[in-house]
Amino acid sequence: MPVVVSNDADAEALGEHAVSFPTSTALCLVKVSTGIGVGLVIDGRIYHGVDGGSGDIGHIRVADPRAQETLCQCGAHGCLATIASGRAVARDLRALGIAAESGRDVERLLQQGDPRAAALTQQAGRALGEVLASVVCLFNPGVMVIGGALSSGPLIAGIRESLYRLSLPRATRHLTMELGTIDDGAALIGLVQQVVDQEFAPGRINEPLG
């Protein structure tokens, strides 16, 4: 049985591309759940990097003093994920006496319209936007989809605040930024797409024909 393995952000990026942006030649999906990841789809194909490590932006080091003080899951200090992930927002909510452990808990509070969750998520978005300004500068995407548990109005508002301020107009002039619409389904669609691409590739079709 052929097996396809893909990380969540990559699969979601391909799913969003297949369903909502099939003509995009440079799409970037930013997944903000308990952690942070980016999936890149270039000319309809996932860009994996040489070891599958592309898009792991949660561990890019940032200058924010709060990040410098906080130990990341990866063992380092200063990672973006320590101030902008679902785990980080949940921690900041707990400091206010609100029960939250994960990105899903933050998602639930956002859906309930909790103003503290919204403010902290927007703050996370601003920190994320600073790093995404570099992503946009390097990759010049036409579409940036914001997905994951924290995908929300406050998050995208925070991202816009810092991303546009720190980017050259040339890199953002044709950038469409949207919240993901198919959420968890996007990863499933992306995985199916990969199986279809693999099994119906010209070489694979020709194999049984000799």
Contacts with Zn ion by CB under 5 A lie at 59, 72, 74, 76, 79
Question: Shortest gap between Cβ of 57 and Zn ion (angstroms)?
Answer: 10
| Sheet of 176-179, strands arranged across | 45-46, 36-42, 26-32, 143-147, 176-179
* Of 83, 84, 81, 103, the residue nearest 148 (C-alpha): 103
Shortest Å, Cβ 56 to Zn ion = 9
Least Å distance, CB 78 to Zn ion, is 8
Closest to Zn ion by CB, 60 vs 157, is: 60
CB nearer to Zn ion: pick between 124 and 171: 124
Q: Indicate the residue among 84 and 171 with the shorter CB distance to Zn ion.
A: 84
Residue (30 or 189) nearer to Zn ion, CB: 30
Q: Report in angstroms how near the CB of residue 61 gets to Zn ion at its nearest.
A: 8
Distance CA 142, CA 156 (A): 16
Q: 10 Å Cβ neighbour count for 97? A: 7
Nearest residue to 179 (alpha-carbon basis) of 155, 149, 206, 146: 146
Let me know how long the chain is: 210
